[in-house]
């Protein structure tokens, strides 16, 4: 290939986000002269000089690998027909170089799109483009600081569809440009209000993710729901399923109801009956505080437009989101979505039970089913372990194929030990670089990485500091704890938790074995999944709807040590990880500040850590014990078929999408 062909091929490879889960394609892009960690490859390709392109072309191995990667991309990505399913989400976590996510909801959405592409589903994503994304974290004087960067969609692989949609707001109309990202064979639409035709205030509607301002959030959700539905229509798509990933896109129902009234429906109820068969709602919250609610004074001006169009009192529109406790004084987005959807689901078996109880007083709440979340294997499993699985397990292990995962029992113990030693370097090197801390490669490495919310109890182990100090000071059975995560900028208690973890790491009792790794993002997460032996999870049960970080760690060979909540409640078998005993297994929702419960469960967690250290080091420091390796193999065999996004999206297709599409 000549230099111009090299540039064209690199642009083709970089502009489709399939490289985020094809490690051979990513390796090619990482080799170009302008590549840099955390920088989107389209920016790197854009910066290549003619001499750099010529040097790449002269390298036969690089040119051959590029040609192979482009051929593989083309074989997996065609021009699919119009989508049957439109998947609406306020955030999508596809890569750290495309920072359009804050946490688990967005990461799940990104994994959903990737698995849909792998499985050949006719699905498209619909979201927003946040010019400043979510914040980058800095630790300043032991506390979290935030900074925001500016991102340009066109430099991150997006294509301008040429579509601009209008969204009615009080006394004005807001315009949004529609960008299109390629995620393998799946399209992701992203609406962007940063247009000159909008006022400065309206241009800022899509400036950043989750600002904490209620009006800002309401306007974002109107753009996502109403604008997203209009974008789908403008592209000529007529999906048979509109999948609402949480209630943030629920205002889509206003647009769909409006179309039915324009088509002849004489009442809102009649229009809703026509709309309902095309709407699926997935709830992700097990607690009332997690439900989006808007006070009447805030939302009423935003729905007056629809009341006027439909010729009804505004109360009739507000009744679509009637709160079971506050009535029309509060607009409840979950009530809107449950009332407007023919099917609804929680994200784990336990969460389904909790949701049916939580929404018992809301029409549609009693029929909530469940599909347990899964994770996209090719995104999260280390490249070296992927190669081992490809060779040993064969095809479709990444989709959760049970026959493939049954072959894991044939892995030799020394092979397992060698891959652990190899892949843990990702984490050890990152901690050394960012924290100036050396992790002993022979230590039992325990990871905790997630949003710093109070119910997740990041500081649970600190309830018994003397016992924790004894574990961290044991040189015969070394243990190293690594923490990472962000607190929402407006979450004062969450920030206090984070500061407590940072502070403890500098105490003598920590013994240099208690580390906070800053600026958590998808790259940091991958390093932790690749390098940890144990994944610690300590939520207040049943506040964890599903949780997926432990699933990613499990695919990489880490064993879960967890409260039996979310996905772990249904998948733990007593041997594929370690359960942290509950203070009261029969209690339902309890006070988050239950001191006695936290003391007991902290002690139980420390008991488990001591037990794990003994088993891990049973054959001596420096050799992962035979008992531990056997437990790893059992965990892979029992969890591998169940925790992948391929299994999850296959469940959605079989149990929800296909029945809804066939019923049309």
Q: What is the pLDDT of residues 3-27, one digit of tens each?
A: 999 999 999 999 999 999 999 999 9
Report pLDDT for 588. Answer: 62
The pLDDT-based confidence of 318 (bands split at 50, 70, 90) is very high
Report pLDDT for 590. Answer: 58
> Which among 376, 526, 378, 382 is positioned nearest to 72, based on CA atoms?
378
The region of weakest confidence among 61-70, 288-297, 467-476 is 288-297
> Which among 62, 70, 29 is positioned nearest to 48, based on CA atoms?
29
The answer, yes or no, to whether the previous bond of 542 is cis (omega within 30 of 0) is yes
| pLDDT greater than 80 at residue 212 | no
> Which among 288, 357, 365 is positioned nearest to 326, based on CA atoms?
288
| pLDDT greater than 70 at residue 217 | yes
Distance (Å, whole) CA 251 – CA 230: 12
| pLDDT greater than 80 at residue 79 | no
The pLDDT-based confidence of 589 (bands split at 50, 70, 90) is low
pLDDT in tens, 592-619: 678 999 999 999 999 999 999 999 999 9
Distance (Å, whole) CA 441 – CA 531: 10
Question: In the block, which residue shows the tokens 């488990």?
Answer: 608
> Which among 327, 351, 350, 598 is positioned nearest to 458, based on CA atoms?
598
- Tokens in use for 183? 């995620």
pLDDT in tens, 516-525: 999 999 999 9
Distance (Å, whole) CA 110 – CA 118: 13
**Phi and psi at residue 203, to the nearest 5°:** -65, -25
Which secondary-structure segment (H or E) carries 245?
strand 241-245
pLDDT in tens, 240-274: 999 999 999 999 999 999 999 999 999 999 999 99
Tell me the β-bridge partners of 565.
none
Please state, rounded to an integer, the average pLDDT across all residues of the chain: 96
Distance (Å, whole) CA 45 – CA 67: 16
pLDDT in tens, 144-193: 999 999 999 999 999 999 999 999 999 999 999 999 999 999 999 999 99
pLDDT in tens, 363-392: 999 999 999 999 999 999 999 999 999 999
| CA atoms within a 13 Å half-sphere pointing along the CA-CB vector of 263 | 11
| pLDDT greater than 80 at residue 504 | yes
| pLDDT greater than 90 at residue 586 | no
Helices (H) and strands (E) in the chain, counts: 29, 20
Distance (Å, whole) CA 578 – CA 585: 16
The percentage of the chain sitting over the pLDDT mark of 70, rounded to a whole number, equals 99
Which secondary-structure segment (H or E) carries 611?
helix 595-616
The pLDDT-based confidence of 584 (bands split at 50, 70, 90) is confident
């Amino acid at each position: 290939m000549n230099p111009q062909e090299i540039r064209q091929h690199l642009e083709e490879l970089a502009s489709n986000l399939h490289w985020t889960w094809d490690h051979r394609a990513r390796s090619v892009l990482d080799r170009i002269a302008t590549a840099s960690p955390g920088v989107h490859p389209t920016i790197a390709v854009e910066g290549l000089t003619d001499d750099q392109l010529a040097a790449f072309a002269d390298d036969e191995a690089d040119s051959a690998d590029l040609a192979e990667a482009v051929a593989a991309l083309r074989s997996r990505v065609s021009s699919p027909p119009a989508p049957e399913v439109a998947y609406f989400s306020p955030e999508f976590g596809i890569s750290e170089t495309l920072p359009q996510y804050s946490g688990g909801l967005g990461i799940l959405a990104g994994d959903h799109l990737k698995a849909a592409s792998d499985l050949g589903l006719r699905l498209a994503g619909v979201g927003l483009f946040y010019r400043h994304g979510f914040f980058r974290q800095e630790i300043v004087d032991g506390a979290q600081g935030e900074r925001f960067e500016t991102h340009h969609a066109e430099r991150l692989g997006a294509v301008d569809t040429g579509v601009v949609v209008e969204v009615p707001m009080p006394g004005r109309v807001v315009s949004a440009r529609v960008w299109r990202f390629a995620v393998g064979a799946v399209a992701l639409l992203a609406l962007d209000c940063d247009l000159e035709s909008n006022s400065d205030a309206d241009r800022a509607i899509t400036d950043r993710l989750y600002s904490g301002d209620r009006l800002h959030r309401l306007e974002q959700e109107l753009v996502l729901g109403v604008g997203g539905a209009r974008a789908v229509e403008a592209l000529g798509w007529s999906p048979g399923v509109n999948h609402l990933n949480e209630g943030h896109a629920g205002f889509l129902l206003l647009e769909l109801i409006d179309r039915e009234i324009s088509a002849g429906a004489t009442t809102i109820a009649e229009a809703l009956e026509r709309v309902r068969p095309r709407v699926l709602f997935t709830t992700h919250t097990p607690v009332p505080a997690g439900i989006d609610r808007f006070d009447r004074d805030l939302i009423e001006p935003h729905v007056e437009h629809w009341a006027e169009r439909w010729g009804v009192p505004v109360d009739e529109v507000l009744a679509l989101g009637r709160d079971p406790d506050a009535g029309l004084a509060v607009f409840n987005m979950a009530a809107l979505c449950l009332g407007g959807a023919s099917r609804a689901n929680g994200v784990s078996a336990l969460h389904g039970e909790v949701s049916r109880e939580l929404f018992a007083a809301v029409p549609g709440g009693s029929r909530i089913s469940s599909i347990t979340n899964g994770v996209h294997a090719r995104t999260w499993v280390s490249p070296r372990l992927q190669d081992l699985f490809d060779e040993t397990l064969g095809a479709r292990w990444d989709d959760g194929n049970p026959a493939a995962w049954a072959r894991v029992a044939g892995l030799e113990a020394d092979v397992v030990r060698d891959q652990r030693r190899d892949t843990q370097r990702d984490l050890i090197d990152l901690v050394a670089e960012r924290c100036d801390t050396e992790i002993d490669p022979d230590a039992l490495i325990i990871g905790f990485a997630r949003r710093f919310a109070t119910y997740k109890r990041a500081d649970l182990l600190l309830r018994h500091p003397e016992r924790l100090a004894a574990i961290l000071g044991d040189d015969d059975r070394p243990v190293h704890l690594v923490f990472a995560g962000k607190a929402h900028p407006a979450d004062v208690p969450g920030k206090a938790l984070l500061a407590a973890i940072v502070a403890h790491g500098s105490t003598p009792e920590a013994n240099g074995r208690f580390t906070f790794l800053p600026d958590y993002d998808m790259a940091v997460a991958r390093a932790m999944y690749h390098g940890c032996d144990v994944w610690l999870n300590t939520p207040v049960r049943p506040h964890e709807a599903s949780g997926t970080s432990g699933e990613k760690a499990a695919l990489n060979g880490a064993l879960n040590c967890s409260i039996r909540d979310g996905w772990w409640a249904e998948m733990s078998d007593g041997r594929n990880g370690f359960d942290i005993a509950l203070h009261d297994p029969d209690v339902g929702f309890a006070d988050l500040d239950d001191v006695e419960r936290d003391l007991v469960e902290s002690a139980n967690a420390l008991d488990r850590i001591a037990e794990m250290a003994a088993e891990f080091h049973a054959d001596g420091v420096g050799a992962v014990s035979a008992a531990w390796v056997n437990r790893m193999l059992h965990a892979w065999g029992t969890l591998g078929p169940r925790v992948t996004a391929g299994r999850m999206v296959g469940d959605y297709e079989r149990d929800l999408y296909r029945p809804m599409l066939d019923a049309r």
